[in-house]
């Protein structure tokens, strides 16, 4: 079967004989979406695993038209509703995510996560369950920051705070063919080696364990539809495929507790966290100022005060 599948597919087999077909994708690529569709339709797996966690599963609800429409219609009511629903900090993060995602969508011509939405659609067509196979993004970020020195954290924060670059057309086309995260981490490896370890190497191991866990579940599932196979299809960024394959026979399930552990923050980390929240609050105020008409800001700000308690 492997011979008839796209070149982006890597076949792995668990110790008890369950095949796992990894589809390596670029996150802004129509070709990758087609590869996912073709692989699931041909393999007809019992389970489909996607490189998402619960915190990032909202990406499954995005589409270009909805994303651009929501970003264009951001007003006081939208911001207020987001704050009431999620609290000030998370609510404004959602608004910022919406604006950035819309900007990226305009540049690339598609919303992020198309390959995951296609995977869910195809899995539903054959009534196979979807597994969210990635480590929680909150854990990854906190482990990455814990592994960095104070100076590295300040440099990362400074670069993110003042990052405001547009993509050239050449870079746009490049994004459609490569795993953006892998390329970014390769560029950062010299300056921030621990970021690469946590974001890439640790997650390779975590994703490998997720695929093997799904394969274990396959052995227990009754095959009601004779056209389906006792197999797993995994949809991951192409930058993870070689890493998953490399550690496939070495990972152990007792690693999970360590990979999911969050170390208590140091005093320096607590100071930075406070500084980040303060700076974000100032930036959020500027965001409201830019989005809303100036004359409305003063009269509206009073209505937000009851929700400020959720910020901390």
pTM exceeds cut of 0.85:
no
Model confidence pLDDT, tens digit, residues 132-182:
999 998 888 778 877 777 776 666 666 555 555 555 556 655 655 555 556
The whole-number pLDDT of residue 72 equals 65
Model confidence pLDDT, tens digit, residues 234-280:
999 988 999 999 999 999 999 999 999 987 766 655 565 555 555 55
Torsion-angle region of residue 129: left (phi > 0), alpha (psi -120 to 50) or beta? beta
Write the DSSP assignment of 84-133 as a string of letters. HHH-HHHHHHHHHHHHHHHHHHHHHSS-TTHHHHHHHHHHHHTT--EEE-
Q: Is residue 56 pLDDT above 70, yes or no?
A: yes
The whole-number pLDDT of residue 227 equals 82
The whole-number pLDDT of residue 300 equals 44
Q: Is residue 21 pLDDT above 90, yes or no?
A: yes
24 strand-pairing partners: 236
Contacts with 117 (C-beta within 8 Å, 6 or more apart), sequence order: 59, 60, 62, 63
The whole-number pLDDT of residue 295 equals 43
Q: Is residue 27 pLDDT above 60, yes or no?
A: yes
Average pLDDT over residues 74-102: 63
DSSP letter at 51? Answer: S
Question: How many angstroms separate the CA atoms of 230 and 220, rounded?
Answer: 10
**Helix 238-247 vs helix 180-188: crossing angle, to nearest 10:** 70
Pick the range with the lowest mean pLDDT from 8-17, 127-136, 144-153, 278-287.
278-287
Mean pLDDT of the residues in the chain: 76
DSSP letter at 235? Answer: E
Question: How many angstroms separate the CA atoms of 199 and 50, rounded?
Answer: 16
Taking alpha carbons only, the member of 151, 163, 136, 189 closest to residue 272 is 151
């Amino acid at each position: 079967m492997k011979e008839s599948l796209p070149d982006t597919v890597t076949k792995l087999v668990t110790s008890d004989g369950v095949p796992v077909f990894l589809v390596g994708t670029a996150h802004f690529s129509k070709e990758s979406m087609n590869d996912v569709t073709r692989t699931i339709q041909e393999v007809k797996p019992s389970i489909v695993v996607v490189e998402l966690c619960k915190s990032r599963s909202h990406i499954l609800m995005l589409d270009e038209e909805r994303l651009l429409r929501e970003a264009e219609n951001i007003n006081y009511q939208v911001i207020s509703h987001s704050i009431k629903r999620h609290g000030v900090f998370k609510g404004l993060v959602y608004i910022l995510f919406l604006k950035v995602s819309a900007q990226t969508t305009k540049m690339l011509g598609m919303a992020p996560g198309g390959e995951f939405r296609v995977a869910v659609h195809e899995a539903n067509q054959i009534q196979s369950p979807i597994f969210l196979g990635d480590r929680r993004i909150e854990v990854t970020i906190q482990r990455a920051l814990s592994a960095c020195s104070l100076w590295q954290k300040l440099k990362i924060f400074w670069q993110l705070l003042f990052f405001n670059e547009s993509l050239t057309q050449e870079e746009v086309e490049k994004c459609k063919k490569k795993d953006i995260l892998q390329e970014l981490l390769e560029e950062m490896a010299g300056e921030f080696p621990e970021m690469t370890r946590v974001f890439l190497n640790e997650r390779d191991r975590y994703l490998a364990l997720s695929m093997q866990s799904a394969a274990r579940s396959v052995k227990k599932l009754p095959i009601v539809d004779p056209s389906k196979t006792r197999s797993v299809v995994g949809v991951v960024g192409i930058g993870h495929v070689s890493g998953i394959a490399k550690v496939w026979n070495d990972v152990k399930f007792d690693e999970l507790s360590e990979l999911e552990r969050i170390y208590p923050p140091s005093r320096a980390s607590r100071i930075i966290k406070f500084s980040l929240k303060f700076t974000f609050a100032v930036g959020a105020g500027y965001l409201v100022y830019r989005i809303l008409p100036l004359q409305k800001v003063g009269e509206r700000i009073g209505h937000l005060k009851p929700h400020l308690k959720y910020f901390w």
